[in-house]
Amino acid sequence: MIDFGHLNRYSRVMTQHASILVVDDDKDVLTAARLLLKQHFNRVLTTEDPADIEHYLQNDRIDVFLVDMNFAIGRNTGAEGLKWLKRILSVDADAVVVLMTAFGDLNMAVQAMREGATDFVLKPWHNDKLVATLSVASALRRSRSTISALSTPTAGDDMVIASDAMREVMRIVNRVAPTEANVLIRGENGTGKELIAQELHRQSRRSARALVAVDLGSVAESLFESELFGHTKGAFTDATGDRAGRFQAANGGTLFLDEIGNLPISSQAKLLRVLESREVMPLGSDRAIPIDVRLISATNRSLDEMVSQRLFREDLLYRINTIEISLPPLRERPEDISALADHFVARFSRKYRLPEKTLGPAAYRALAEHHWPGNVRELSHAIERAVILSDRDEMRAEDFQIRDRRDESGTQTLNLEEAERQMVRQAIAQYGGNISHAASALGITRAALYRRIEKFKL
């Protein structure tokens, strides 16, 4: 039986901009999913027929596919779910697929994730857990979209690079990738940290195995051990089956821990213990499981400052940053702006089946003079919008609707509360309603951000 209870407590949570497709042959499951998820995501679609997946793949943009693994009565092998997983990924390599079943076990979970599933949900699900899982999945889809936008269609999935600063970054990546060294990638949001992690994995000796990404900013502290280390059936109230953690799924490959600066101090100790012992203990189990992963971490925060404030363990910092790679913000590498702009214009013209547009001299100047607080991700969004809305073959400066915050200082209010309200609103808009990312950009906790959202009635 699906948990319909306590749905109202989600009603005040901010809706995320993501399209979720739920595929299950049980109408009650679809109803429960729709009632719950529509309070968290702006677009929730459901279907009883898995064949409808083909229609959505060809005619729609789905951010997360939530697909049952068993459709025929009496079947519990998971083969159907794995078949649709392969089909979805064959059409859209960046697709994010979460599989669900009432007959889950550890081996099936590991197999599904190694074949490309983002996560695995057991029915009956726990509402908090399902929402958290899909929130992480939708954040991953946004990251993959940014990565695709950053990448050129050339062999090796090379980045669009014109600046000396990024050439130096890639020189370090090429040198470090074949080693087993743990890597810490630092950089502001939108600079392409996950792309660098993918390139490190692609050039590594582990490239034939899985690269498993975890956005720690979206993982609740109470779910940390279950998410990363797994759990056994009965480990807690809603543990209705064994579940593989991200470390097991990445065994033999690479584990990418994004937003590691958001990890609470208590969880840091647990992560350090696993990295030192190279084994995990699933919740509810008394048997340690050896793990062999290469760790890549990323953060937009100053971990050194957090260490001095006793917010981040110094011994964990030493463990994760054998090699450190710093990505410069876009404003510090203006040579890349025009090259990226040309790439995005061509890419989005193809995507929307429009005649390829060009950029005029004034447009180049406007892009070069903008501060780009959202970095490459913001540039990509600005150009995508302009390509869609512009009715000219040569785009002009006004097509981009960008204003540099540095030029507005003379007109900004000096009221601190109003300034704070504007910053909170801008951060939420910039990260598409993702509370974890917005809070991280503002340098506050998720709870503190929720308090400000309520205070300012945003």
| Burial (Cβ within 10 Å: 0-12, 13-18, ≥19) of residue 335 | middle
- At 303 the pLDDT is 95
In this structure, how many other beta carbons lie within 10 angstroms of the beta carbon of residue 15? Answer: 12
- At 197 the pLDDT is 94
Query: CB-based contacts of 433: which residues, under 8 Å, 6+ apart?
Result: 14, 15, 16, 17
Domain 331-408 indexed as CATH 1.10.230.10:
no
Q: For residue range 188-221, what is the model confidence (pLDDT) as tens digits?
A: 988 999 889 999 999 999 998 889 988 888 788 8
- At 355 the pLDDT is 83
CB-CB contact of 82 with 103 (8 Å) = no
Lowest mean pLDDT among 30-34, 101-105, 384-388, 452-456: 101-105
The reply to whether 7-139 and 151-328 are identical in fold is yes
Q: Tell me the percentage of the chain whose pLDDT exceeds 70.
A: 84
Lowest mean pLDDT among 253-257, 340-344, 392-396, 422-426: 422-426
Architecture per CATH, 151-328? 3-Layer(aba) Sandwich (3.40)
Give the CATH number of domain 7-139.
3.40.50.2300
CB-CB contact of 176 with 159 (8 Å) = no
Listed by start position, the domains of the chain span 7-139, 151-328, 331-408, 416-455
The pLDDT of residue 1 is above 50? no
**How far from 285 is each of 71, 228, 251, CA to CA, in Å?**
31, 14, 18
The pLDDT of residue 75 is above 90? no
User: Which fold, 416-455?
Assistant: Arc Repressor Mutant, subunit A (1.10.10)
State mean pLDDT over 446-450. 74
- At 145 the pLDDT is 62
CB-CB contact of 325 with 173 (8 Å) = yes
Six-digit token string for 370: 């903008």
Pairwise CA distance, residues 450 & 458, whole Å = 10
The pLDDT of residue 302 is above 50? yes
Q: What is the 3-state secondary structure (H, E, C) of 187-198?
A: CCCCCCHHHHHH
The pLDDT of residue 30 is above 50? yes
Q: How confident is the model at residue 73 (pLDDT cuts 50, 70, 90)?
A: low
Lowest mean pLDDT among 44-53, 149-158, 257-266: 149-158
State mean pLDDT over 359-369. 91
Pairwise CA distance, residues 41 & 157, whole Å = 31
Lowest mean pLDDT among 36-50, 374-388, 425-439: 425-439
CA nearest neighbour of 7 among 47, 41, 48, 35: 35
Global pTM reads 0.59
**How far from 371 is each of 332, 368, 374, 404, 410, CA to CA, in Å?**
9, 8, 9, 6, 16
Lowest mean pLDDT among 82-91, 121-130, 277-286, 418-427: 418-427
- Mean pLDDT, the chain, as a whole number? 82
* CA torsion, ordered 313, 314, 316, 317, to nearest 10 deg: 120
φ, ψ dihedrals at 294, nearest 5°: -100, 130
Q: How confident is the model at residue 91 (pLDDT cuts 50, 70, 90)?
A: confident
